[in-house]
Amino acid sequence: MAQKGKTIRNDNLLDIKDLSIHFLLDEGIVRAVNDLSFTLKSGETMGIVGETGAGKTTTALGIMGLVQSPPGLVVKGEIHFDGQNLLKLSENEMRRVRGKKISMIFQDPMTSLNPVMPVRDQIAEVVLLHENVSARVALMKADEMLNLVGIRAERARDYPHQFSGGMRQRVVIAIALACNPALLIADEPTTALDVTIQAQVLETMRQLKTELNTSMIMITHDLGIVADICDKVAIMYAGTVVELAAKRDLFTNPRHPYTAGLFGSIPDISRDEDILKPIKGIMPDPTNLPRGCPFHPRCDKATAECESFDMRQTEVSGGHFVKCALYSGLAERAG
């Protein structure tokens, strides 16, 4: 594990290794994230997909250093960002990272914005916090960012309640990108928006990502958004990544039964189907996860081995990783 102040040199902007985050409650231990690993290169966009309760938002909060403790606890793992292990940084050091190097867009813009401050001032506040500039320059930067996300200058002094949901989300994007972070985490950024506004917000994010050369993690349950905006995809189930691959590879050749089940639950206009094939059962209780593979009680391909499977990751093809007993012998056979 890297020591504080030292850096690890590799080609990845973000490198998460064996991350586990639990919540210690009176009712029991909520195992929200378990042995999670993935990497993200500069300029890449990764989609993190999974059902509600899969651990997607907890993963994002772990990267941001915002897991509330107590009851939250990072049990083990490493989060290397730009060569530093974020879990070794003090809270003061993390404050300099948040907003400046890593920014996050939360699901509901109304809970992210201050209702008694004009939107212009809220963007300027972030700039003043992280950059050594005057208040005048910060306000100019705020106006520039509002223009960049398609909000006219005359609206800069308006308050959040004076904007529509889509416009508020644009303000949140402007705040997140004000200091040109290397990594943007978007947690279900279009959930509360209608389809037309969703498309506009996603197009804004795509354009800004290209212009500012920002890497992005898109947390969503919508595979359509993933197909539209992401380069690679991590499928999460019960707190861990069960499949990770480039977008095209994952969409054309899903390997994990859970991933296949997700695609089977989506209408496909290219196929003549009368009914969909939903995944049976529900997500397991995170305080009482099944032994072995957590998906095996719902899996049509489950065998006795699944109940003792240690959830090791197997590379089934170049850059395509799966945690599934069906492929557990592949690495040994290839060797």
Beta bridge partners of 80: 15, 85
Mean of pLDDT over the chain: 88
What gap in Å lies between CA 75 and CA 282, rounded to an integer? 26
* φ and ψ at residue 28, rounded to 5 degrees: 145, -175
pLDDT above 90 coverage of the chain, percent: 58
Beta bridge partners of 41: 12
Burial annotation 187-224 (CB, 10 A radius, 16+ → b, else e): bbbbebbeeebbebbbebbeebbeeeebbbbbbbbbbe
Residue of 148 and 138 predicted with greater confidence? 138
DSSP state at residue 297: G
The residue among 154, 83, 153, 97 whose CA lies nearest residue 129 is 97
| Coil/strand/helix, residue 124 | helix
- Specify the pTM: 0.87
Instruction: Yes or no: say if 50 and 221 are a contact pair by the CB < 8 Å rule.
Output: yes
pLDDT digits (tens, 9 = 90+) for 79-90: 999 989 999 999
Instruction: Yes or no: say if 141 and 178 are a contact pair by the CB < 8 Å rule.
Output: yes
DSSP state at residue 35: E
Residue 254: how many other CB atoms lie within 10 Å: 21
Q: How much is the average pLDDT of 132-144?
A: 94
Instruction: Yes or no: say if 296 and 36 are a contact pair by the CB < 8 Å rule.
Output: no
pLDDT digits (tens, 9 = 90+) for 31-68: 999 999 999 999 899 999 998 889 999 999 999 999 99
Residue 202: pLDDT band (50, 70, 90) is confident
Residue 332: pLDDT band (50, 70, 90) is very low
CA angle, residues 314, 316, 322, in degrees to nearest 5: 50
Q: Is the pLDDT of residue 158 over 90?
A: yes
Predicted local distance difference test score (pLDDT) of residue 189: 84
